[in-house]
A and B are shown apart, each in its own frame.
Chain A
């Protein structure tokens, strides 16, 4: 069963607008962490933002924020004021706690390709 689901293979957004990239996850471990990475066309993997399962507030990092809805098991990435340089693949990932017994590896979604139009 897929533990991280990114339902949007591709998204388009106009420059300067906000965009939400969806991520839902599945775990029975009460302790877990959620990550978003960006992969531009140059290929490197860039860490964007982290949300812990026990964090009281939604994570924010500059123009990136995470809409964390624990009951719905969703951790959507919101990019505000999109820029052309935001065009990239975006990956959601989860690390489960020690109860999961999977050596706490990162579990990855299939990614969403975002294109920012001028």
Chain B
């Protein structure tokens, strides 16, 4: 019973294309996140949504646009893909306002731009 699921797991695409990554959580959490993990394993938060409202936008190029149709879904759309966008993208969720609850992660989407 997958808690946070993202699709696809692997994505290989050419420069200039537009692609989307989907994320769904069945934990009833209010807050969802997108992280980017680069080749050096550094985890950088990109966006956070709370009950469909954007609360964190961390200096991400506007080619990246998150969309939250409801609090269980947070999709990431990327326009005009560049080589530097190659990374692993993680979706995560956590309950709102609780200090002691960990973020639950999806399995990651490995994006390769060629």
Contacts and interface: CB of A to CB of B under 8 A. Distances in A.
Contacts of A31: 99
A44 B99 contact: no
A52 to B, nearest CB: 5
Given A44-B105, A44-B108, A111-B41, A105 B48 contact: yes
A47 B104 contact: yes
A89 B108 CA distance: 15
The B contact surface, by secondary structure, is strand
Interface residues of B, number: 23
Interface in A65-115: 89, 91, 95, 97, 103-106, 108, 110-111, 113
Interface in A19-36: 31-33, 35
B39 interface: no
A39 B41 contact: yes
Residue of B40, B55, B90, B99 with most chain A CB atoms under a 10 A cut-off: B99
Interface string B85-114: 000101010000101101111011010000
Contacts, number: 50
Contacts of A113: 41
Q: Which bucket holds chain A's interface residue count? A: 20 to 34
12 contacts: A33-B99, A43-B107, A43-B108, A44-B108, A52-B100, A95-B99, A97-B99, A103-B55, A104-B99, A108-B42, A108-B44, A110-B40
Interface of B: 33, 40-45, 48, 55-56, 88, 90, 92, 97, 99-100, 102-105, 107-108, 110
